[in-house]
Structure 1
Amino acid sequence: MKTTAILFGLVAPQVLAYPGMGRALDQIKSRRDYTLQSRSTELLGDLKTTKDKDLTSSGSTIKSVLEGGSAIADGSTYKPSGDLASDTCKKSTLCVWYNIVQDLKATFTDSNGCTDLARGAIRQGFHDAAAWDKNSAYGGADGSLLLSDEMSRVDNLGLEDIAAQTKDWYNQYKGYGISMADLIQTAAMTATVSCPGGPRIKSFVGRKDDSRAAPTGLLPFQYQNADYLVDLFAAKTFTSNDLVALVGAHTSSKQKFVDTSRTNAPQDTTPNIWDTKFYSETIAGDNKTILIFHSDKSISSYSETQAQFKAFAGSNGKSLWSPAFAQAFFRMSFLGVNNLNNLTEITQVLPLSQ
């Protein structure tokens, strides 16, 4: 089974350009006046214009988290009264997704912790959603990664196994009215909490699919410097601290294409567990024990990100990182989604944190 890096470790270091880079460079040059705060509170999609009196329960919850509230779910769970074949279950969004998540969880865990397909699912969630910024007319968490030719892009090397598995799941369950966009993001949320120590993040469904290939040049690469990445993510509504939190997903990452002589080298020494060793071990810099991406090392020492990186590496780093990652990943899952007020919460069907 192939293993790959989750976020930045996408291609070999010699690849120095990609389609759309010129557009991205031109755009970020105008963003240096972006105010960096500890956490983004910028609203997304239809919530930017929906009045409070018109908010649904889901819209209210999503808005609260986007504005800085906690994205970590409580321990509430859901158990269906019937199986998926029953008419009652078919008509219940929670029941349908409960059955789907049970399949996902079984694939994402083994006796060692989270599996290679779990790593792939987390990265897949990023790659479908993050091909978007505030200047994009379309793109984001819309399923286009697997509904268009995006998988042929160099950005997405290494996602082949999880893409094939996700398509199998989609073909199995699409008759129940699910979208590919929701399946990709729910798989990413399920994979995160399936890793021992991973947060249980509030989850919603109802995203609309789009088969148009997402804009190019909007995903990060492992050779990029921190200042570029800060601007790239600012255009997606993330602060520099959000970026530091998101890159911590490399705690469960293994790379395949960044250094082909070290295939399956992890980015920290405990890739089956969701912990903060990635931060401390990146700072320590032992590039023989683990494979440290240039982008990660740059973020660890850059003036706007160094302090947050060190905080996550500290003795109480996990208690700081978990809520920060949950909030940033929650935001990521809604990039480009314009019907947030009409989504349905399915958090109750997610596995409990281990």
Structure 2
Amino acid sequence: MDVRAAILLLFLTMLSVSKAKLDVHYYEETCPELEKIVSDTLLNASKHDPKVPPRILRMFFHDCFIRGCDASVLLDSSPGNKAEKDGPPNKSVASFYVVDDAKAKIEKACPGTVSCADILAIAARDVVTMSGGPYWNVLKGRKDGRISKASDTLKLPPPSSNVTQLTKMFAKKGFGIKDLVTLSGAHTLGFSHCSSFQPRLHNFSSLHDTDPSIDSEFAHDLRTKCPSNKPHNHKKGKNDGHFLDSTASVFDNDYYKRMIARKSVLLSDQSLVWDSRTRRIVEDFARDQGLFFREFVDSMLKLGSLVNDVGEVRLNCRVVN
């Protein structure tokens, strides 16, 4: 066996060991009330702010896609380091206080036991379920990372990406075409600010002012909400953008139906129906919500398994111990 083969074998062994440490029953004896505490916290927060579910789900994806699911997205910036949450793609990620609240309650019930990464993984499952989506058993045992850099957020898929760009970014994380289409379905919950899709509406190309792939009536609606002469940012207010599907508070397959109808808000979403590599999957999910739910569970378990052995159990999710 040559050196490169030996290194590859060692890496694969480490990866399998890392994944093997995750266990549904990881806290069964040390913190039996964990899942109830997280669920109750999310339900209470969502009653007061309906934006909590999509924000938590997006937070989980943005965390796992950088360094694996290590809660690095929860760390605050320090004088010597600009953290992930302050990177450009995460400027509109919010509701960190919900995780903080759950963590504080869990620390009272079982001090120094549960990682922030596991809390976020459970929370992501819970917001899907409470919004009408599928339930799955969350594997636990993740550690909290100690590194968080704003520059790493450039690895997140931008809303202007095409399928070729998306497949390359997802492949680097071990995801295939089906995972890409499936995880994009998380957009069935949520809202996008004008800054993420305004380039589709004004001066799109030398031939078209508006992206011709958008349904004309829908494009008119978007242009009304996001006129070219109005500056936009995520702090302008709730009307500064558009919901990503017509049932934005319900986890369903409407996202895929609207894609086929040329009513996707984001270019990265609309591109999935125009590319032959992804169109069939989009059509299948649009026809069969149960199929989408089953595939979503599989892909979320795969996403949640992006972990490593290096880390700690933070006492405060915003700072390292």
Instruction: Tell me the TM-score normalised to structure 1 length.
Output: 0.63
* Distance (whole Å) between structure 1 residues aligned to residue 172 and residue 22 of structure 2: 28
Name structure 1 gaps, 5 residues minimum. Answer: 1-42, 63-88, 132-138, 340-354
Q: What residue in structure 1 maps to residue 242 of structure 2?
A: 265
Is the 8 Å Cα contact of residues 71 and 120 (structure 2) preserved in structure 1?
yes
Q: What residue in structure 2 maps to residue 99 of structure 1?
A: 37
Tell me if 1:221 matches 2:158: yes
In structure 2, the CA distance between the partners of 1:57 and 1:145, relative to structure 1 (3 Å rule), is closer
What percent of counterpart residues are identical? Answer: 24
Name structure 2 gaps, 5 residues minimum. Answer: 1-10, 77-82, 199-224, 227-238, 311-321
- Structure of higher RCO (CA pairs closer than 8 Å, 6+ residues apart): 1
Aligned ranges 1:94-173 → 2 under 5 Å: 94-108=32-46, 115-131=50-66, 139-148=67-76, 149-160=83-94, 162-173=95-106
* Distance (whole Å) between structure 2 residues aligned to residue 204 and residue 218 of structure 1: 25
Is the 8 Å Cα contact of residues 125 and 184 (structure 1) preserved in structure 2?
yes
Number of residue pairs matched? 249
Q: What residue in structure 1 maps to residue 121 of structure 2?
A: 185
Equivalent residue letter for 1:156: N
| Residue 333 of structure 1, aligned match among 297, 304, 320 | 304
Is the 8 Å Cα contact of residues 226 and 295 (structure 1) preserved in structure 2?
yes
* Distance (whole Å) between structure 1 residues aligned to residue 303 and residue 55 of structure 2: 16
Is the 8 Å Cα contact of residues 142 and 209 (structure 1) preserved in structure 2?
yes
* Distance (whole Å) between structure 2 residues aligned to residue 183 and residue 173 of structure 1: 9
| Residue 271 of structure 2, aligned match among 298, 318, 323 | 298
- Where 1:58 maps in the other structure, the secondary structure is coil
* Distance (whole Å) between structure 1 residues aligned to residue 55 and residue 255 of structure 2: 18
* Distance (whole Å) between structure 2 residues aligned to residue 173 and residue 50 of structure 1: 24
* Distance (whole Å) between structure 1 residues aligned to residue 125 and residue 292 of structure 2: 16
In structure 2, the CA distance between the partners of 1:203 and 1:46, relative to structure 1 (3 Å rule), is farther
Is the 8 Å Cα contact of residues 163 and 272 (structure 2) preserved in structure 1?
yes
Structure whose alpha-carbon radius of gyration is higher: 2
* Distance (whole Å) between structure 2 residues aligned to residue 57 and residue 237 of structure 1: 18
Q: What residue in structure 2 maps to residue 48 of structure 1?
A: 16
Which aligned runs of 4 or more in structure 1 are off by greater than 6 angstroms? none
* Distance (whole Å) between structure 1 residues aligned to residue 270 and residue 146 of structure 2: 36
Instruction: Tell me the TM-score normalised to structure 2 length.
Output: 0.69
In structure 2, the CA distance between the partners of 1:285 and 1:45, relative to structure 1 (3 Å rule), is farther
* Offset of residue 199 of structure 1: 0.6
